[in-house]
């Protein structure tokens, strides 16, 4: 099985490019972040024509996550339990958990519009079982600035996700779970082109790094690091100031896997070529190869 994750930075603008990537790499499951569209706007037809089913959650032109699979897509969850919400339009922007009754697993994964939650509930997490693997496509909040309420929201979001992920693994130590996506955390100084340029900003604070590494304490393994430990191995380059030609990048796209799934990973590839050419996303795909599951 081949599993990939990619922040595409607008799926409607890059649908043809994403489908071409799926076909070129022979990908079975792709977790997509920052789709930037409502459910009814997602370009399902392009994926369907290529043989992929899609589950998506998106409420506006911001955020949005999806999973495309050609090996089945079951038990769709459009949020994780207790997922925090955020709104800049309230006196207290934090923290209201998602009402999971809004995400009834029995409902179609593509409902949206008037059925969508209010502004507090951002489309940042989508779970589905694909080919026996429980995949979570995750777009962790950016944080904006260390004195911004969004930073507090980010830390609460990561903490709640870790709490839930800990429970999933405790309930089934043999679970096959992949927490994949854009984590918006730079875990190590060697994951950014110039650590000094980020002093005092988000992504590198001790609290964010601790929240990221807490998934290891929960029993998960960050498999892309295990297979690609090299320094200055980036997955994101800003559009500004010729960041990509100058290789001024960041490594912020990762996969935390349960031990049973991590043991199946035979290789990881970062497709740097996808940052090149007209219409490229500012992120590139991270691709995991999995050996067959033991029966």
Q: Could you give the percent of the chain with pLDDT greater than 70?
A: 88
Residue 31 falls inside a structural domain: yes
Strand residue runs (E) in the chain: 2-7, 29-33, 53-57, 65-69, 74-77, 125-130, 133-139, 177-182, 221-222, 236-237, 249-250, 253-257, 265-270, 286-290
If you average pLDDT over every residue of the chain, what do you get?
Answer: 90
Distances in Å between the alpha carbon of 288 and those of 74, 135, 196, 215, 267? 21, 12, 31, 19, 6
Global confidence as pTM: 0.92
The CA distance from 287 to 225, in Å, is: 12
Q: Count up the domains in the chain and report the number.
A: 1
Domain of 141?
Answer: 2-290
**Is the pLDDT at 53 greater than 60, yes or no?**
yes
The tens digit of pLDDT for each residue in 189-245 reads 999 999 999 999 999 999 999 999 999 999 999 999 999 999 999 999 999 989 999
Residue 295 falls inside a structural domain: no
pLDDT for 98 equals 52
Higher-scoring residue by pLDDT: 36, 295: 36
**In this structure, what DSSP letter does residue 99 have?**
-
pLDDT for 116 equals 40
Higher-scoring residue by pLDDT: 115, 53: 53
**Is the pLDDT at 106 greater than 60, yes or no?**
no
**Is the pLDDT at 89 greater than 70, yes or no?**
no
Residue 146 falls inside a structural domain: yes
Task: Supply the CATH number for residue 80's domain.
Answer: 3.60.10.10
**Is the pLDDT at 142 greater than 90, yes or no?**
yes
Beta-carbon contacts of 86 under 8 Å, excluding residues fewer than 6 positions away, are: 93, 94, 95, 120, 122, 141, 149, 150, 153
CB 250 within 8 A of CB 201: no
**Is the pLDDT at 91 greater than 90, yes or no?**
no
Model confidence at 275, pLDDT cuts 50, 70, 90, reads very high
Residue 282 falls inside a structural domain: yes
pLDDT for 246 equals 96
Determine the average pLDDT of the residues in 73-80: 96
Model confidence at 294, pLDDT cuts 50, 70, 90, reads confident
Residue 176 falls inside a structural domain: yes
Q: Find, among 80, 102, 78, 83, the residue nearest to 94 by Cα.
A: 83
Determine the average pLDDT of the residues in 254-265: 98
């Amino acid at each position: 099985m081949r599993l990939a994750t990619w922040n595409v930075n607008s799926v409607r603008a890059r649908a043809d490019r994403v489908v071409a990537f799926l076909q070129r790499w022979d990908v079975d499951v792709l977790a997509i972040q920052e789709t930037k569209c409502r459910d009814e706007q997602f370009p399902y037809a392009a994926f369907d024509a290529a043989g992929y089913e899609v589950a998506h959650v998106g409420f506006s032109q911001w955020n949005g996550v999806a999973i495309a699979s050609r090996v089945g897509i079951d038990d769709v969850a459009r949020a994780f339990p207790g997922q925090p919400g955020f709104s800049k339009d309230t006196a207290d922007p934090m923290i209201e958990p998602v009402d999971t009754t809004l995400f009834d697993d029995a409902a179609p994964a593509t409902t949206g519009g008037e059925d969508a939650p209010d502004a507090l509930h951002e489309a940042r997490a989508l779970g589905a079982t694909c080919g026996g693997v429980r995949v979570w496509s995750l777009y962790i909040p950016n944080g904006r600035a260390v004195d911004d309420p969004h930073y507090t929201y980010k830390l609460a979001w990561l903490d709640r996700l870790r709490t839930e992920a800990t429970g999933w693994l405790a309930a089934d130590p043999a679970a096959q779970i992949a927490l994949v996506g854009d984590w918006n955390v730079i875990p190590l100084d060697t994951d950014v082109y110039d650590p000094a340029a980020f002093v005092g900003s988000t992504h590198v604070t001790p609290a964010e790094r601790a929240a990221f590494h807490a998934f290891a304490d929960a029993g998960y393994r960050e498999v892309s690091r295990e297979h690609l430990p090299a320094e200055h191995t980036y997955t994101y380059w800003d559009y500004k100031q010729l960041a990509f030609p100058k290789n001024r990048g960041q490594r912020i796209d990762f996969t935390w896997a349960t031990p049973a799934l991590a043991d199946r990973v035979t290789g990881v590839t970062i497709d740097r070529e996808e940052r090149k050419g007209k219409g490229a996303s500012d992120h590139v795909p991270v691709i995991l190869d999995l050996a067959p599951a033991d029966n």
